[in-house]
Amino acid sequence: SNGVNVSDGVNRSNGVNWSNGVNVSDGVNWSFGILNCRGVSHALFLADCPEKYTVFGKEVSEEDWYSIQAELYQKLGNWRPTFNNIKALYLAHGSDWKLTPVEDAEELSRREAWAGMPQEAIDFVRSLPQFDADMFEKITGIRTEPLRKGTQEHEKSDLPGI
């Protein structure tokens, strides 16, 4: 087992936190007596729960989820949100960790962390039938509307360059 924190009786499982009696399960939090489950929180005695694939909280098929994930990651390229300024400090100090003033590290807001998301990725997410503008804004801090069918408009988000 890997990634086990404050848990006992864990067998062939990964990502288990504050849980006991977990067998052949992954992503279990504050639970007890879990068998053959994925993504469980606050459960007592649960077995064989089906894995759910969701986009904006709406269930999709496993095939659709992997297809959406692959296209999203292709459009994101190497970009990922950054929630602190440590990389900027590192680059500003010659890409040398010994010279990087780690004590100056600061947390970035959600909006700052997600500000550089590629427009192509935003447009793709906006085009999904499951898209939820309010949830997207809550996660990213970016206010945008669904992409209208047949358009490639870029003026709907509220961040410069997005």
**Cα–Cα distance, 104 to 92 (Å, whole number):** 12
Interacting residues of 161 by C-beta distance below 8 A, sequence separation 6+: 119
**Cα–Cα distance, 57 to 130 (Å, whole number):** 8
- The pLDDT value recorded for residue 68 is 98
Summarize pLDDT for 38-73 with one digit per residue, the tens: 999 999 999 999 889 999 999 999 999 999 999 999
Average pLDDT (74-98) is: 94
Going by their DSSP bridges, the two strands 26-29 and 14-17 should be labelled as parallel
Summarize pLDDT for 119-143 with one digit per residue, the tens: 999 999 999 999 999 999 999 999 9
Task: Compute the mean pLDDT over every residue in the chain, rounded to the nearest whole number.
Answer: 90
- The pLDDT value recorded for residue 158 is 52
Interacting residues of 96 by C-beta distance below 8 A, sequence separation 6+: 90
Q: How many of the other CB atoms lie within 10 Å of CB of 123?
A: 19
**β-sheet bridge partners, residue 11:** 23
Q: Which residue has the tokens 């040398």?
A: 96
